[in-house]
Structure 1
Amino acid sequence: LRFSRDGLGQHTVGDDAGDGLVLHHRDLSPLGPAAQDRAMAAEIARAQRGLRPERRPLGRAVLFSLGPHRPDRLFVTVHHLVIDAVSWQVLLAELDRAHGQAASGTPVDLGPPPASFQDWAHRLAQYTADGEFDPEAAYWSRTAGRVHADLPRDLDGVAAPGDERAVTVRLGAAWTEALLRDVPQAYRTQVNDVLLAALAHVLAHWSGRGQVAIALEGHGREARALGGGLDLSGALGWFTTLFPVVLEVPGTPGWGALLKSVKEQLRAVPRRGVGYGALRHLRPGTSGGQPLPDHAEPPVSFNYLGRLTTSDASGTLFARPPGRFELFGGDRGVRTRPLDVTALVADGQLEFTWHHSAARHREETVRRLAEEVLEALRAIVRHCAGPNSGGATPSDFPLAGLEQAEVDRLVGDGRTVRDLLPLTPVQSGMLFHHLSAPDAGVYLEQVHLDVRGVPDPDALARAWQETVERTPELRAAVVWADAGRPLLAVHRHCVLPLAHHDWRALSPARQRERLRDLLAADRAAPPALDRPPLMRLALVRLSGDRVRVVWTFHHVLLDGWSVFHVLSDVMAAHAALARGEAPRLPERR
């Protein structure tokens, strides 16, 4: 790849034949460790400064041989115009795989090439030209109009080349593990939501505003936002999105209210922000396109790079590097934004780096803000570990069409309910008839059948429970939203009501009589619709390995086709348990 500038000042990417990632080898084994480190630093600086967008190559690699007492080092640098953070993981994985094949003497085969950056760029341009992002224009115009560019500042200087500074702070490993593990479960958040909530909380307190404008970076590999059909998981390139968000920091006290509010505001961003840049830069030149209005840029940017890992396993090309993953800035120009905040997890610790201009902010001010964000995250972790934490939000149940107050009433802390779903018209009709005559047994279904080859009824009971755990619909109950609208609440877990009967000592005639009584009693006490599951089971042992199964359920739960899926899964689970194996059932939706 290379970039060239056309007459309009735009850069265009070209695909030239020739060297791509140039590899140089430097044998430093005759030198001592200190001299090796100095030589590597000098060579790395030359490699980085030699990258120019207008000429190839845009990537260089240097392999340092350090002798028998130090492992070899591979340094790779690629111009940031053509590679994003996600691409580094892809690149290193492919290098590892290719090296393993070459070292074993087999031809290098990385499989069919994935969708390329060019494929994505053409799809994005065409998708934009076709007006697919046009419905988002009103949202982005409103958001842009709410952006405020001012922040408190310590100094009245003007940003100039060379005055960039960086402050780095780290959350301890134990706090980081709790943040990544416990907090997302409590409020069904992503890590990015939590980090932005803490950042917005601190910036709002510092600026004295209830709104915080942030330029948010995303990985941009949103193939579904472009109609699907592109697998970008193995693609190399610059897919990063940059779009404004204006976060309202709620006046309601409490970390739970903050997390819920920020999460919902981020979920309201259409297609994870892909359309903003497309509308702003690609749509104006097309027929009928309306550019987004110019607006002030958010004074703060934020980018969460995720968990950066390298393998420590034997047999791989790469081991954990001795240094840190860093962005080399070269000869930086003037900063266009007062604050740029980057977060990542490295070596088990969450790390924030705050880039700022020394002409605007003193280091102690930026460090104080950075430490306050860490303290906010610790407070959030402590809150989520407490007994009164947790909750869901309307975006967790997009089909239900609820407000936050209804969600709180219906699911409480959200730990027991997995989903809320509207009833189909047929289900609603069944529910209406049931409520009209609750004692008539309308739409109460009973399935009873003989199963042979069951010497242990407890194993069959475990197979049924396993099927309930794998089938969300079997864990549903009816709840009522405001205005009397019924919904199905799918619970995370529930125990299937089960009764065991042993009729082996009875005659066949007496067994038939007892079965009639059991069925009649079951129909006389239908399952309550507001408590899961809307079914129950009776297992009647008739002989040594013969069991009569009586399965009673409300028809609002299952249609006839689904009944056979459930029975098939139960039989498969029982067969696995009988062999002493763990059941492997399909995940039902």
Structure 2
Amino acid sequence: MIPSFFMQVDKFPLNANGKIDSALLPVPVTRSNKLEEPETFNEKVLLQIFKSVLGLDDISIRDNFFELGGDSIQSIQICSLARQESIIISPKLIFENQTVAELAAIAKTENKVIIQPIATRGNVELTPIQEWFFAEHTASINHWNQSIVFSKDSCAQMEDIEKILSHIVEHHDGLLTLFEKRDNKYIGNIDSEHKTWELVYKDIHHLDEETRIRVRDEWESKAQVSLDISNGPIMKMLVLKEQPYKYRFFWVIHHLLIDAVSWRILLEDFNTLHDQALNNQTGRLAHKTSSFKDWSNFLKKYNESLMDPETLSYWEQKTKSEITDFKIAEDFIAKEERTMEKSFSEEETEFLIQGLSRQSKATVEEVLLSLIAKGLKQSFEVKNFWLEVEGHGREMVDETIDVTRTVGWFTAMYPILLHSDGTFDDTLKSTKNAIREIPNKGFDYGVIKYLRPGVIQEPDIYVTFNYLGRLDSQFKSSNSRDFGEFENKPKLHFLSFIQDGKLIIKIISKLAEEKMKLIMEAIGDVVMEIKGTEFDQGSLIESDFPDAMLTEEDLFHILNSNK
């Protein structure tokens, strides 16, 4: 069984054979199965926020956030909602204090000052992820977007939608950014005098279904290719009246200004303002957080004076690690990228996201990366490989800046060296160690790479991973393309998310189709294998028990004391 409690003792009682005598160990005081009710203000507020974000009702203040299936993106949502109630926490604190009770005890509440944007207009230096974009993209530079589709049964008047978008753009002023090239280098510029977005309305409800779908697809595809990062628009909303009481909203923004977390913020704000408009109420949004220009300025300051020298040393040494050639690199033979998708059942999803995470004390990302690593090992005997992770990048490394509700592209890309050999537990243990040794969840890597060019050696990477968390079930799909054609190094892209209670893993690649099938089948086989195998604690590591101050040797003795 997995140790659930740790108590400090002066020494371990031993039996005649020199092993720990568990019968002589003190009995820990455990809580009952009854849900422990919150008592303090912080506990009551945070418990309600946990329930709302996780979509669960039966949560105790002692339940572990990650064992409940929580992920890094949801940790940002919790911080944002908590700040609106004057409770100051950060994603880092959630990772270090994983229950409501622990968080409530250390959360700051005496600071009632809401952090406001400092700089909102003028030139904006590129952030590391934006530097990456311009370094990697030379063709179709205006067609690299993100879009969402949602429906509503009722729709405000178009002049009200116009006001809503104006309100949103003024509130999230990063959406006013356009980019110009100076001395062979791009720079952002925020100018409120230049409108950067468009609203288009089309009534197509009178058309037959086949024609309606064709016209819808044409308009959405036209919107995708109409964005212009230098002259605008850089954002467009298309509202289609499909039926008398059904409206389809297609919202597209160039990726330079948006990421997955930002979409959650924008959709929340749009729905809030739209509901207020329908009820003839004055539009109001939550307090502004730091602006994207503040963030850009902070990154420059962080690079110059705030970065820990040990973090710089870590990346200098880590990126020198050498591995054998990626065995399937020569199989990137398709002319265009294709997408292959695998959907897991609700039962399998619950097992992976909650059951396995709880047993192994692993995060969702650690479980998914281990599945990928084990799948590549079983399908192509790839034991060691570099993988590029896309994290949310909103690390709270300084208390003077708050980007929990800031709209922009914050993604942090950083490499992880993964290893898979032996059992799945061995792979998961290796993955956990590889991820947890990385400082600040990889936040510094892009800062070093692009703000201190030449300092670190870039690994040879053929695999990428991005976990989007739980997607709102109200999102619809579009047949339009977010990305245009561009030249870059072929890679094996893994994209995963949870929608309608089901885990979905996508592979996007120029890899030969039969090779992609082998990988997907191998991942499915791994899931079936671990579902049918009793958990043996082999993936537990000392960092799973941060309060116990265990060494690797201590944990080994504890786990093997009854064997």
Tell me if TM exceeds 0.5: yes
CA-atom RMSD in angstroms: 2.6
Residues 20-48 of structure 1 show CA distances to partners (whole Å, capped at 9, x for unaligned) of 44221111122122211111100000100
Once the two structures are TM-superposed, the CA of residue 322 in structure 1 deviates from its matched residue by 4.2
CA distance in 2, matches of 1:391, 1:163: 39
SS of residue in 2 equivalent to 1:182: helix
1:1-400 matches, within 5 Å, as: 1-17=176-192, 18-68=194-244, 71-146=246-321, 148=323, 150-153=325-328, 163-223=336-396, 226-249=397-420, 251=421, 253-284=422-453, 291-310=454-473, 320-323=474-477, 328-357=481-510, 361-383=511-533, 386=534, 388-389=536-537, 392-398=540-546, 400=548
Contact 1:391 1:412 in 2 (8 A): no
Once the two structures are TM-superposed, the CA of residue 365 in structure 1 deviates from its matched residue by 0.8
Once the two structures are TM-superposed, the CA of residue 149 in structure 1 deviates from its matched residue by 8.1
Check 1:413–1:343 CA distance in 2 against 1; reply closer, same or farther (3 A cut).
farther
> Normalising to structure 2: TM-score of the pair?
0.64
Which structure has the greater CA radius of gyration? 1
- Bigger relative contact order, structure 1 or 2, given CA contacts below 8 A and separation 6+? 2
Contact 2:414 2:442 in 1 (8 A): yes
Segments of 5+ residues of structure 1 without an aligned counterpart are: 285-290, 311-319, 415-589
Contact 2:379 2:522 in 1 (8 A): no
Check 1:101–1:269 CA distance in 2 against 1; reply closer, same or farther (3 A cut).
same
Check 1:248–1:130 CA distance in 2 against 1; reply closer, same or farther (3 A cut).
same
Residues 367-390 of structure 1 show CA distances to partners (whole Å, capped at 9, x for unaligned) of 21022113223333443xx36457
CA distance in 1, matches of 2:460, 2:535: 41
SS of residue in 2 equivalent to 1:256: helix
CA distance in 1, matches of 2:471, 2:531: 22
Once the two structures are TM-superposed, the CA of residue 406 in structure 1 deviates from its matched residue by 1.5
Once the two structures are TM-superposed, the CA of residue 111 in structure 1 deviates from its matched residue by 2.9
Check 1:218–1:138 CA distance in 2 against 1; reply closer, same or farther (3 A cut).
same
Residues 154-189 of structure 1 show CA distances to partners (whole Å, capped at 9, x for unaligned) of 867777xx5222212221222112211211110111
Once the two structures are TM-superposed, the CA of residue 242 in structure 1 deviates from its matched residue by 0.5
SS of residue in 2 equivalent to 1:278: helix
Once the two structures are TM-superposed, the CA of residue 295 in structure 1 deviates from its matched residue by 2.9
CA distance in 2, matches of 1:205, 1:266: 22
Once the two structures are TM-superposed, the CA of residue 209 in structure 1 deviates from its matched residue by 4.4
Residues 35-70 of structure 1 show CA distances to partners (whole Å, capped at 9, x for unaligned) of 1111110000010001122222211101111232x6
CA distance in 1, matches of 2:229, 2:323: 33
Contact 1:393 1:407 in 2 (8 A): yes
Check 1:157–1:77 CA distance in 2 against 1; reply closer, same or farther (3 A cut).
closer
Residues 214-266 of structure 1 show CA distances to partners (whole Å, capped at 9, x for unaligned) of 0111011111xx223433221111000101110233x4x33323222211211
Residues 525-563 of structure 1 show CA distances to partners (whole Å, capped at 9, x for unaligned) of xxxxxxxxxxxxxxxxxxxxxxxxxxxxxxxxxxxxxxx
The residue identity in structure 1 corresponding to 2:508 is H
Contact 1:62 1:76 in 2 (8 A): yes
Please identify, of 113-122 and 204-213, the stretch whose mean Cα deviation from structure 2 is larger: 204-213
Q: Percent identity?
A: 25
Aligned residues: 386
CA distance in 2, matches of 1:329, 1:396: 39
The residue identity in structure 2 corresponding to 1:304 is Y
More strand by proportion, 1 or 2?
1
Contact 1:143 1:244 in 2 (8 A): no
CA distance in 2, matches of 1:305, 1:258: 22
Contact 2:341 2:506 in 1 (8 A): yes
Once the two structures are TM-superposed, the CA of residue 89 in structure 1 deviates from its matched residue by 1.0
